[in-house]
Structure 1
Amino acid sequence: MTDDNSEPLQPLDRIQQNVLAKAERRLLNWICARLPLWVTPDKLTGFGVLGALVVFFGYALSGWSLHTMWWCILGYAMQWFGDSLDGSLARWRKIERPKYGYFIDHSVDGLVILLIMAGMGLSPYVRMDAAAFATIGYLLLSIHAYLGARVLGEFKLSYFNFGPTELRFVLIALTLAMMVLGPDAGRIGKLSGFDFFVGAAAALLNLLFIWQTLVTARRLDLMERPKAK
């Protein structure tokens, strides 16, 4: 889950227009000013991955006990704390390592989304193929962001005023709905209502990738089209 928490290889125009961005930035700055010195960016990155592991086991073990779904809520909070603060703390303390931070941060993002969606796919609520389809869509959009950073000098962190923090709130709400409604909610044949929800979200992510690819390709074409003599 990519947040505005790493420095790229060169200065980029960060496009972050999600609803909670300004309020979240104030909160992160407040936290950074109060973290003890023994808390480092690398430790925060590891803490975020630990949160994703907690989410994974919360979903994966939910067929055994409904109460493990509470682990998911805790894990999302842990993942937000680590992922949102690692780069923020580095910039606050002026100890950035641009190449290392950029590489580690976005490598970890791929692992985190894999853990979350794999756990959801192992639960009795969402089929693994629906979870895999959503993972593909998220990773395709991530690839688009990384390519945009390279060819346009822009790093897009939100779409339609919706960013990683808003996504975590949606996932928390989805988890609570699973706990309240049960795995058979809205079931039609072999598909539950949660399969339809995750599948629809996955389709949206994949379509958004295609649309953004076409838009960016058009921009690049106009930028590099030979001028008529």
Structure 2
Amino acid sequence: MSDIQSQRDKIFSDRKRTNILKNGEQRFIHFLLKRMPQLVTPNILTGIGLLGSALVFISFLLARHSSQYLLLIGIIGLFINWFGDSLDGRLAYYRQIPRKWYGFALDIIMDWASIVLIGLGYYFYAAQPAKVLAFLFVVFYGWSMLISLLRYKIIDIYRIDSGVLGPTELRIIISLILLIEVLSAGSIFYAAILLTSTLLVVNILDTIKLLRFGNERDGKDKLND
């Protein structure tokens, strides 16, 4: 194993990733970390990530009252959110200054704030019948976060992905939805139905797996009593 690969493994050692873009994403993050100015701290990156989500929220508001072309700002916001959210904890590990539980707590809180901002933005943009989809999107994403936390508690493995899909893939999907809405106004309603339905199915399947893990853990605990 090369020194670069070994260093990269250490940077991402606190969580198990299974998303389809994992390898390319980790190489790109490592590339960025090596070039990050010293004055940029993990907390600054966390703030940048939240700022990106706020930009998505603003893009929905601007598009609602002006032109759907302003949704393109949201795509930029999603990239900024990825940049801050993906690099904050990794920078701490890269510089060997990790605060595992502080970072874990802050990451969860900021992820929740970010998804609320995005969902709220869509709520203000959507027509009245579609506003409920914003609520469902936030609820179902929150459900997936609960599954990750409960899985961590039960099997001691922190995984933010559901199979080959993770937060990065979700950002790309939302970016494509915004782009298609710019090209064909009104399409976002059908895309939102598809996205929330997919989240619901994935959460149900992950919940079934989670309950199986819990049952297996109960069996092991009984044997150890």
Unpaired segments ≥5 residues, structure 2: 1-10
In structure 2, how many angstroms separate the alpha carbons of the residues matched to 1:46 and 1:134? 23
In structure 1, how many angstroms separate the alpha carbons of the residues matched to 2:104 and 2:25? 21
Per-residue deviation, 1:169: 0.9
**Which residue of structure 1 aligns with residue 58 of structure 2?**
57
TM-score normalised per structure 2: 0.86
**Which residue of structure 1 aligns with residue 157 of structure 2?**
154
2:219 maps to 1:216: no
Per-residue deviation, 1:15: 3.1
* Residue identity matched to 1:151: I
Per-residue deviation, 1:45: 0.3
**Which residue of structure 1 aligns with residue 33 of structure 2?**
32
* Residue identity matched to 1:82: G
CA contact (8 A) 1:32 1:92 kept: yes
In structure 2, how many angstroms separate the alpha carbons of the residues matched to 1:77 and 1:222? 39
Secondary structure of the structure 1 residue equivalent to 2:193: helix
Say which structure, 1 or 2, has more relative contact order (CA 8 Å, 6+ apart). 1
**Which residue of structure 1 aligns with residue 173 of structure 2?**
170
Per-residue deviation, 1:195: 2.5
Unpaired segments ≥5 residues, structure 1: 1-6, 184-192
Secondary structure of the structure 1 residue equivalent to 2:142: helix
* Residue identity matched to 1:197: A
2:199 maps to 1:205: yes
**Which residue of structure 2 aligns with residue 195 of structure 1?**
189
Relative to structure 1, the CA distance from residue 70 to residue 151 in structure 2 (aligned partners, 3 Å threshold; closer, same or farther) is same
**Which residue of structure 1 aligns with residue 185 of structure 2?**
182
The equivalences for 1:53-202 within 5 A come to: 53-66=54-67, 67-124=69-126, 127-183=130-186, 193-202=187-196
In structure 1, how many angstroms separate the alpha carbons of the residues matched to 2:36 and 2:45? 11
By percentage of residues, which structure has more helix? Answer: 2
In structure 2, how many angstroms separate the alpha carbons of the residues matched to 1:118 and 1:79? 16
Deviation per residue, 1:143-197 (Å, 9 max, x gap): 00011111111222222311111111111110011111012xxxxxxxxx43232
In structure 2, how many angstroms separate the alpha carbons of the residues matched to 1:50 and 1:59? 14
CA contact (8 A) 1:60 1:123 kept: yes
Per-residue deviation, 1:208: 2.4
Question: What do you get for the CA RMSD once the two structures are aligned?
Answer: 1.9
Secondary structure of the structure 2 residue equivalent to 1:69: helix
Secondary structure of the structure 1 residue equivalent to 2:64: coil
Deviation per residue, 1:100-156 (Å, 9 max, x gap): 111111100000000011101211468221111111111101100011111111222
In structure 2, how many angstroms separate the alpha carbons of the residues matched to 1:170 and 1:200? 11
CA contact (8 A) 2:180 2:188 kept: no
Secondary structure of the structure 2 residue equivalent to 1:160: coil
* Residue identity matched to 2:135: A
What is the aligned-residue identity percentage?
27
**Which residue of structure 1 aligns with residue 5 of structure 2?**
none
**Which residue of structure 2 aligns with residue 190 of structure 1?**
none
Q: Quick check: 89-98 or 117-126, which moved more?
A: 117-126
CA contact (8 A) 1:62 1:124 kept: no
